[in-house]
């Protein structure tokens, strides 16, 4: 059997003071006809990245709502994850395509994982490209299969997209962060459009005092009396940590006291991560005011929280981004936030109203200098951003969207509780 992830327990009632009463009532109403329905989530890893973070909250809340839900991790060796990284990058626009050997490896692991999958669910949720082909290896499945895409498909490599489209056509539904990510291909299932969400009660997002944050950050050698810029991301070229260092160096010329923290996590399904981590360390050129940290330095959820809370500005200078949950995390903490004008980030930040959207390292540096020069105005903008997150990007809303979809796929009435869709094309 595929590895089962222990997600612990969470109670919907704990979110009652954060979500509106109307939303909580709607969740209970939508959950009632789904009681006992079996749901299986499939993904490539239980650690590192937004998919894992979302699932550790979403799945126990689905369970508390009355569904029978579990999360399984597919198996794979380095050869497989090298191929899936090529697929991931290609779907986000990288030029490299798949060789015949790559396709053979990908198919072989789909078959191996399908052979270990107990296909006894009402709904199977497949996260991202790594397990997308398993549906073709489960003939006669009674489940409704849903593909949940967490990446930016706005400008895909057409050859890589063409490779996954035949699998996608066999799904019952697909979910994307934005309409612009829905592939322009015929025969696809109906596409549902909704953003991901953060858990306001998770250790990464729970309330943390400035004093506690400073104490934690100090343990990593940061001078807590000098301003800190932080980016929290995987070490990935799409997150542009080298561009962040360029921006920091430009800020440093106007504010020599500034420090930079690049905080990431190393996930086993990202073989490029180690190489790019080393590239980032090399690019920093031993600057004592640049701190490059990861889970290998004992940076966990609470530590990430502390870095975000303590920072004068939180950065997310991505050049491709499916959504960018770290933006919602920073805004939820009312931190001034500077982020790339790409993907789902533009759905979270209104430029110069709730944060800064930037197109280059120089833009990023200028935004940081504005924040350092006028922290009160920056804080007011961040507080407006916090309210945007409260209304749109917290887990109870995400749970509600999933319940709407499950009811739709089951043929149940969802009048008054709908989600945005894009109709399937012939």
Whole-angstrom distance, CA of residue 59 vs CA of residue 41: 9
**What is the pLDDT, as a whole number, of residue 424?**
61
**What is the pLDDT, as a whole number, of residue 423?**
64
Fold observed for domain 3-197+394-422:
Rossmann fold (3.40.50)
Which residues of the chain, if any, have pLDDT below 70?
Answer: 267-271, 423-426
**What is the pLDDT, as a whole number, of residue 413?**
86
Q: Parallel, antiparallel, or unpaired: how do β-strands 420-422 and 290-293 relate? A: unpaired
**What is the pLDDT, as a whole number, of residue 269?**
59
Nearest to 43 by CA among 108, 94, 102, 113: 113
- The domain locations on the chain are 3-197+394-422, 210-392
Continuous segment of H or E residues that includes residue 338: strand 337-340
3-197+394-422 and 210-392 have identical folds: yes
The owner of tokens 């380095």 is 78
- For the stretch 43-61, pLDDT in tens is 999 987 789 999 999 999 9
Q: What is the pTM of this model?
A: 0.92
Continuous segment of H or E residues that includes residue 121: none
- For the stretch 329-378, pLDDT in tens is 999 999 999 999 999 999 999 999 999 999 999 999 999 999 999 999 99
Domain spanning 210-392, CATH class? alpha beta
**What is the pLDDT, as a whole number, of residue 272?**
76
């Amino acid at each position: 059997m595929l590895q089962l992830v222990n997600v612990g327990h969470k109670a919907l009632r704990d979110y009652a003071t954060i979500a509106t009463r109307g939303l909580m009532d709607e969740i209970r109403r939508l959950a009632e006809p789904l009681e006992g329905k079996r749901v299986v989530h499939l993904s490539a890893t239980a650690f590192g990245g937004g998919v894992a973070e979302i699932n550790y909250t979403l799945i126990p809340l689905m369970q508390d709502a009355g569904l029978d839900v579990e999360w399984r991790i597919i198996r794979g060796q380095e050869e497989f994850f090298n191929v899936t990284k090529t697929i991931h990058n290609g779907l986000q626009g990288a030029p490299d395509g798949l060789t015949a050997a790559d396709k053979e490896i990908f198919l072989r692991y789909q078959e191996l994982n399908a052979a270990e999958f107990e296909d006894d669910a009402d709904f199977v949720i497949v996260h991202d490209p790594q397990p997308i082909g398993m549906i073709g290896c489960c003939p006669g499945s009674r489940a409704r299969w849903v593909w949940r895409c967490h990446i930016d498909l706005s400008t895909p490599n057409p050859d890589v997209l063409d490779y996954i489209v035949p699998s996608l056509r066999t799904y019952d539904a697909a979910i994307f962060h934005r309409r612009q990510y829905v592939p322009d291909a015929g025969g696809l299932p109906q596409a549902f459009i909704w953003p991901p969400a953060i858990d306001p009660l998770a250790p990464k997002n729970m309330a943390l005092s400035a004093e506690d944050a400073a104490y934690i950050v100090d343990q990593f050698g940061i001078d807590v009396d000098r301003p800190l810029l932080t980016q929290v991301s995987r070490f990935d070229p799409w997150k542009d940590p080298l561009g962040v260092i360029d921006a920091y160096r430009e800020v440093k010329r106007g504010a020599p006291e500034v420090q930079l923290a690049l905080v990431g996590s190393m996930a086993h399904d990202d073989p490029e991560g180690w190489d790019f981590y080393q590239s980032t360390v090399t690019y920093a050129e031993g600057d004592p005011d640049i701190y490059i940290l990861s889970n290998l330095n004992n940076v966990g959820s609470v530590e990430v929280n502390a870095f975000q809370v303590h920072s004068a500005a939180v950065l997310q200078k991505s050049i491709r981004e499916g959504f960018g949950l770290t933006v919602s995390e920073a805004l939820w903490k009312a931190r001034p936030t500077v982020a790339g004008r790409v993907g789902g980030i533009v759905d979270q930040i209104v430029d110069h109203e709730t944060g800064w959207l930037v197109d280059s390292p120089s833009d990023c540096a200028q935004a940081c200098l504005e924040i350092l020069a006028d922290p009160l105005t920056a804080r007011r903008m961040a507080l407006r951003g916090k309210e945007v997150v409260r209304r749109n990007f917290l887990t109870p809303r995400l749970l509600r969207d999933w319940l709407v979809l499950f009811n739709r796929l089951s043929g149940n009435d969802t009048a008054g509780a709908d989600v945005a869709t894009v109709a399937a094309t012939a």
